[in-house]
Each structure stands twice: as C-alpha cells, then as structure tokens.
Amino acid sequence: MQLPIIQIDSFTDTPFAGNPAAVCLLPAPISEEGMQLIAAEMNLSETAFLQQTGENSFGLRWFTPTTEVDLCGHATLASAFMLYEEGVVASDAELLFDTRSGMLVVTRSGDEIVMDFPLIETRAQIHPAFEKEFCGKTVAGAATLNGNWIIELESYDEVESLQPDFAQIAEHSEEGIIITAKGDDKYDIFSRYFAPNIGVMEDPVTGFAHCALIDYWHKKTGKTALKAYQASQREGEMRLELHGDRVKIYGKAIKIFEGFMEV
C-alpha cells in the first residue's frame, strides 16, 4: 500500500526553519505498530496520522520516533495546514480533531492557523536536582507539570546560550525540561525544550510546551496574551492567548515536500 507523506515546517513561514512534522492522511486504517514504524523511519520529532471521520472531522494521533504522545502543537498545525492547502477541506472550514487530549478545534485566520488547546496547569516547585543551577546557568524559578518541568533562567541570553547536558536531563526528568526567560522588545518570552527520554533531544518549536508556559507566565505577570520565541537552532515563533482553561495558539507553516511511502 502507498501512503502519502507530506513534510511541513511549522511555526514559521521560512523553509528549513520552525519545527518539521510529517503528516499522513491515511487512506485506510493501519496498526499502531505500523504508525510507530513509519514515525521511526521519518525520524522527525513528530509524525501525525489523520483518519477522516466526517466532512471536516478527523482522528489525529502523534508519534515521536519512539513513542506516541498525548499532545503535539506543531504536528497539529502541520496537519491543519496540509488539509487546507491540499484542498481536503474548505479554506474557511472549522476542523475538529479527535485526539488523546480530547477534541481540538482548529481554524484559519488569514495566513495563520489558530489552534484551540487545553491549558496545562503548572505548579511552582523547586527541582530537586536543579535548585540553583541548570547546565551552568542560574535558576530564577521553576514549576512542574505532567512529567515535565519548567526552569526559568535569568535572561533570554542565558536561554539562547545554554549548552544542554542530555544525560543529566534524562536522569532528572520523566519526559522533558522546558527552559524559559522574559523576552526582549520583540517577544514576551523565550524558551527551549529538551526531551531525550521520549526520543527528542531538542525540539525545535513546541506547541504543547506553550500551553504550560502561558500558565506559568500568567501567574507571574498577569498577562493573557504573549508573543513567544523558541530559541532552538531552527527557531520559530507563535502568538498565545489565554481564555479560561483554553489556550489559542496562532502560527504559520510552509510545505517542504510530498511523496509516497511503500508499506
């Protein structure tokens, strides 16, 4: 069977920047094992699998090269972008994605994709292994969430220049660690995300992490809207809006290539 595969760079409108995701609109169901093997073959931080269930509704699952995940922002953005750009749905359609994190609603606003995601609550807590220092940088604050940690550094320069110790990160986190700091004149916050325990050493741009970061920074600053920059080597940006227990994430995307996989 031939499966169509499209690779899309998310949270950017520049080729070879942002976070690349593979998107596969399944012509017929395949096994979970098959999806995991395809994700390992693609070897991107996430591969998204779509199964159409209605005119504008789809089942959506996300796989890293090693495991299935509960929530992925950039691969959701890539999936919606593909559906709109390839004419699978109308350009003004409201998309419904049935996922492990519940029903996600995605729309289009101009050249941006707008994703309605659940807020991820954070709880202020000192990390037992990184109380004062993380990878040579001074810790200014910390919080815990769903197997991940947020560690705040003193400045965005510290976020950009940090050299991660992946062995240490893997030893002291269940899933991953988000580092963050207040931004500059252009962006409200900076961040990076390291998750070696789920097969992603450094994720280029991480949608789900920002569902927690807006909670973390809202509690510190009271702001309900943020412009965010993820300072990975590929870099990417998004806009965030807090609406009660939901987060709207605005981002752009661009198609890189498409083809077929023989399975």
179: containing domain: 123-244
Q: Is residue 135 located within the same domain as residue 107?
A: no
- Residue 77: give its domain's CATH number: 3.10.310.10
Q: Is residue 91 located within the same domain as residue 171?
A: no
Residues 122-126: contacts with CB under 8 Å, at least 24 apart? 122/150, 122/212, 122/215, 122/216, 122/219, 124/219
Residue 262: pLDDT above 90?
Answer: no
Say how far apart CA 103 and CA 118 lie, in whole Å.
Answer: 10
pLDDT digits (tens, 9 = 90+) for 15-38: 999 999 999 999 999 999 999 999
Say how far apart CA 233 and CA 194 lie, in whole Å.
Answer: 13
Q: Is residue 189 located within the same domain as residue 102?
A: no
Which of 129, 143, 126, 139 minimizes the C-alpha distance to 214? 143
Say how far apart CA 240 and CA 250 lie, in whole Å.
Answer: 6
What's the pLDDT at 146?
85
Q: Is residue 109 located within the same domain as residue 16?
A: yes
pLDDT digits (tens, 9 = 90+) for 209-242: 999 999 999 999 999 999 999 999 999 999 999 9
Instruction: Identify the band that residue 111 occupies on the pLDDT scale cut at 50, 70 and 90.
Output: very high
Q: Is residue 38 located within the same domain as residue 106?
A: yes
Q: Is residue 127 located within the same domain as residue 158?
A: yes
Q: Is residue 104 located within the same domain as residue 50?
A: yes
Q: Is residue 127 located within the same domain as residue 240?
A: yes
Say how far apart CA 160 and CA 142 lie, in whole Å.
Answer: 18
Query: What rounded mean pLDDT belongs to the chain?
Result: 97
Q: Is residue 62 located within the same domain as residue 101?
A: yes
pLDDT digits (tens, 9 = 90+) for 69-101: 999 999 999 999 999 999 999 999 999 999 999
Q: Is residue 197 located within the same domain as residue 218?
A: yes
Q: Is residue 40 located within the same domain as residue 127?
A: no
Q: Global pTM? A: 0.95
User: What are the catalytic residues?
Assistant: 46
Environment class of 185 (CB within 10 Å of its CB; exposed 0-12, middle 13-18, buried 19+): exposed
Which of 214, 230, 212, 232 minimizes the C-alpha distance to 222? 214
* Dihedral of alpha carbons 216, 227, 151, 194, sign: positive
Residue 263: pLDDT above 90?
Answer: no
Domain count of the fold of the chain: 2
Q: Is residue 167 located within the same domain as residue 215?
A: yes
Q: What percent of the chain has pLDDT above 70?
A: 100
Which H or E run includes 167? helix 166-171
Say how far apart CA 92 and CA 84 lie, in whole Å.
Answer: 8
Residue 258: pLDDT above 90?
Answer: yes
